[in-house]
Amino acid sequence: MIVHLSVLQVIIPLIAAPICLLLRKSELAWAFATLVAFMTLAVSVALLSQVMQSGPVSYELGGWEAPWGIEYRVDMLNAPLLVLISAISALALLASRTSIENEIPENRHTFFYIAWLLCMAGLLGITATGDAFNVFVFLEISSLATYTLIALGKDRRALWASFQYLVAGTIGATFILIGIGLMYVMTGTLNMADLAQRLPDVENTKTVFTAFAFLIVGVCMKLALFPLHLWLPNAYTFAPSIVTTFLAATATKVAVYVMIRFIFDVFGFEFSFTHFPLQEVLLTLGIAGIFVASVVAIYQDNLKRMLAYSSVAQVGYIMLGISFASQTGIMATLLHMLNHGLMKGALFLALAAVVYRMGIAQLSQMHGIASRMPLTMAAFLIGGLSLIGVPLTVGFISKWYLVSAALENGWWPVAAAILLGSLLSVVYIWRVIEVAYFKPVSESTPDVKEAPAALLIPMWILVLANLYFGIETSLTVGVSQMAAADLFGGLR
Amino acid sequence: MEFLGLFNYWVVIVLMMIGFYIVICSNNLIKKLIGLTIFQTSVFIMYISMGKITGGTAPVLADGITLYSNPLTHVLILTAIVVGIATTALGLAIVVRIHESYGTVEEDDIHAKDKQA
pLDDT for position A1: 63
Mean pLDDT of A464-487: 88
Residue A181 contacts by C-beta under 8 Å, 6 or more apart in sequence?
A211, B43, B46, B47, B50, B73, B76
Q: Among A125-134, A170-179, A331-340, A365-374, name the one with the lowest average pLDDT.
A: A365-374
**Contact yes or no for B36 and A133 at CB 8 A:** no
Set of chain A residues whose Cβ sits within 8 Å of the Cβ of B46: 178, 181
- Closest listed residue to residue A149, CA positions, set A286, A41, A6, A250: A250
Nearest to A156 among B32, B40, B101 (CB): B101
DSSP per position, A91-112: HHHHHHHHHHHTTS-GGGHHHH
pLDDT grade for A54, boundaries at 50, 70 and 90: confident
One-letter amino acid at A21 equals: L
A89/chain B closest Cα distance in angstroms: 24
At A38-48, the pLDDT tens digits run 999 999 999 99
B57 DSSP assignment: B
B23-41 residues labelled b (16+ CB within 10 A) or e (exposed): beebeebeebbbbbbbbbb
Asked if A313 and A389 count as a contact pair (C-beta separation under 8 A), the reply is no
Residue pLDDT, tens place only, A277-312: 888 899 999 999 999 999 999 999 999 999 999 999
* Res B3: pLDDT: 65
pLDDT digits (tens, 9 = 90+) for A417-468: 999 999 999 999 999 999 888 888 877 777 788 888 889 999 999 999 999 9
More confident residue, A418 or A65: A418
Whole-angstrom Cα distance, residue B22 to residue B36? 8
pLDDT for A56: 87
Res A491 pLDDT > 50? no
Res A152 pLDDT > 50: yes
Number of H helices, E strands in chain A: 20, 2
* pLDDT cut 70: percent of chain B above it: 97
The pLDDT, as a whole number, for residue B4 is 67
Euclidean distance between CA atoms A286 and A411, whole angstroms = 14
Interface test with B, best of A64, A147, A163 (most B CBs within 10 A): A163
* Mean pLDDT value across chain A: 90
pTM for the structure as a whole: 0.93
Which range scores top for mean pLDDT: A117-121, B1-5, B70-74, B109-113?
A: A117-121
Nearest CA in chain B to A184: B73
B43, B79, B95 member nearest A137 (Cβ): B79
Helices (H), A239-302: 241-260, 269-270, 278-298
Name the residue among A163, A170, A177 with its Cβ closest to that of B94: A163
Instruction: Give the pLDDT mean for A217-238.
Output: 91
A156 touches chain B (CB under 8 A): yes
pLDDT in tens, A79-100: 999 999 999 999 999 999 988 8
Which chain B residues contact residue A137 at CB under 8 A?
A: 79, 83
**What percentage of chain A reaches a pLDDT higher than 70?**
99
Beta bridge partners of B28: B106
Query: Which domains are delineated in chain B?
Result: 2-116 (1.10.287.3510)
Looking at beta carbons, which residues of chain A come within 8 Å of B87? 140, 144, 166, 170
Residue of A nearest to B49 (CA): A185
What per-residue confidence (pLDDT) applies to A306?
94
Give the per-residue pLDDT at A422.
92
Return d(Cα A386, Cα A400) in angstroms, integer.
Answer: 12
Q: A307 to chain B, minimum CA–CA distance in Å?
A: 22
Cβ-count burial of B3 within 10 angstroms (0-12 exposed, 13-18 middle, 19+ buried)?
Answer: exposed
pLDDT digits (tens, 9 = 90+) for B79-89: 999 999 999 99
Inter-chain contact A133–B90, Cβ cutoff 8 Å? no
